[in-house]
């Protein structure tokens, strides 16, 4: 159905505006995306409804709300506001599959998370687990991922899930500790949960204690790499040395 909204005090507009807040994303199990590219990347079952400046050629099951520029400017996080904003549903997906699973331990930066999601999709990784599920649905994360979020299994993780995965996977964590194995000397197991840690603090001690091994990328002239770049290197190494 096609509807028209002219007031920024409309309940639909207020509802969408609330979804900028992680608290409401978690409560409503909904999130917003901006722009035509991300809308095209979304699956039909992911889409709840659309706010747009003009009628779009979409499946008839999708409600469209025609709004004005003032409303779009209010809702958009971009300096140049989008012409379409889509409200999407968070899937209740508990499926774990693939020979390499990524586990993000308290990552905070949306750009880093988005880069990791995009890289994972490029290398055909199916499942990504994060200690904070809502970080996947930050608008900046989604934009950085270029829509990869719609084609991955995204799960909320904790120590219990990690412990359960030890039955079928080896837990391999990144670390700069003394007993850490140089990546050049590491033989990847067949099935791996690759654990990467917080931008400032790395992987937590609790998870390091659970890990079957810890690895590091040999580098020179600087003490660390961006976590998004490091994860990409590790994924590539796993995929090309099997």
| pLDDT for 216 | 95
Q: What is the pLDDT of residues 110-128, one digit of tens each?
A: 999 999 999 999 999 999 9
Q: Tell me, what's the pLDDT at 6?
A: 94
> Whole-angstrom Cα distance, residue 93 to residue 107?
20
- State the pLDDT at residue 95: 82
Kindly tell me if the per-residue pLDDT of 92 is higher than 90.
no
| pLDDT exceeds cutoff 90 at 227 | yes
- Overall pTM > 0.85: yes
What pLDDT sits at residue 132?
Answer: 87
Note whether 196 and 174 are within 8 A (CB). Answer: yes
Model pLDDT, residue 78: 80
Rounded mean pLDDT, 18-25: 93
Domain architecture of the chain: domains with CATH: 2-89 (3.30.1330.30), 100-241 (3.40.1280.10)
Residue with tokens 């055909």: 124
CB of 193 closer than 8 Å to CB of 172: yes
Our CA dihedral for 28, 33, 39, 44, rounded to 10 degrees, sits at: -10
Collect all residues with Cβ–Cβ distance below 8 Å to 182 and sequence separation of at least 6. Answer: 215, 216, 218
Once rounded to an integer, what is the mean pLDDT over residues 135-139? 90
Positions of E strands within 67-145? 84-89, 100-105, 127-130
Q: What is the mean pLDDT of residues 78-100?
A: 88
Residues sharing a CB contact under 8 Å with residue 118, sequence separation 6 or more, in sequence order: 144, 145, 146, 148
* Model pLDDT for residues 75-87, shown as the tens digit of each residue: 998 878 889 999 9
> Terminal CA-to-CA distance of the chain, rounded, Å?
51
Is residue 67 predicted with pLDDT exceeding 90? yes
* Residue-averaged pLDDT of the chain: 93
pLDDT of residue 33: 95
150-208 pLDDT, tens digit each: 999 999 988 889 999 999 999 999 998 888 999 999 999 999 999 999 888 899 999 99
Calculate the CA dihedral of residues 50, 55, 56, 62 and round it to 10 degrees. Answer: 40
Going by the DSSP 8-state scheme, the letter that residue 91 receives in this structure is: P
What pLDDT does 91 receive? Answer: 87
More confident call, 176 vs 234: 234
């Amino acid at each position: 159905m096609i509807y028209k909204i002219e007031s920024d005090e409309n309940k639909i507009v207020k509802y969408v505006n609330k979804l900028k807040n992680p608290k409401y994303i978690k409560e409503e199990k909904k999130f917003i995306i901006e722009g035509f590219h991300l809308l095209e990347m979304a699956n039909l079952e992911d889409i709840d409804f659309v706010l747009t400046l003009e009628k779009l050629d979409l499946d008839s099951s999708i409600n469209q709300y025609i709004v004005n520029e003032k409303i779009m400017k209010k809702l958009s996080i971009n300096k140049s506001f989008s012409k379409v904003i889509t409200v999407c549903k968070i899937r209740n997906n508990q499926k774990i599959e693939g020979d390499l699973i990524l586990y993000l331990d308290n990552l905070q930066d949306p750009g880093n998370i988005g880069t990791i999601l995009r890289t994972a999709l490029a290398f055909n990784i199916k499942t990504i687990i994060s200690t904070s599920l809502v970080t996947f649905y930050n608008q900046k994360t989604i934009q950085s991922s270029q829509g990869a979020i719609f084609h991955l299994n995204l799960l909320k993780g904790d120590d219990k899930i990690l412990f359960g995965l030890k039955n079928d996977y080896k837990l391999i964590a990144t670390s700069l500790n003394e007993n850490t194995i140089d990546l050049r000397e590491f033989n990847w197991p067949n099935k791996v949960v690759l654990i990467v840690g917080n931008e400032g603090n790395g992987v937590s001690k609790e998870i390091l204690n659970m890990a079957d091994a810890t690895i590091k990328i040999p580098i020179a002239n600087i003490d660390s790499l961006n976590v998004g770049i490091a994860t990409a290197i590790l994924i590539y190494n796993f995929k090309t040395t099997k």
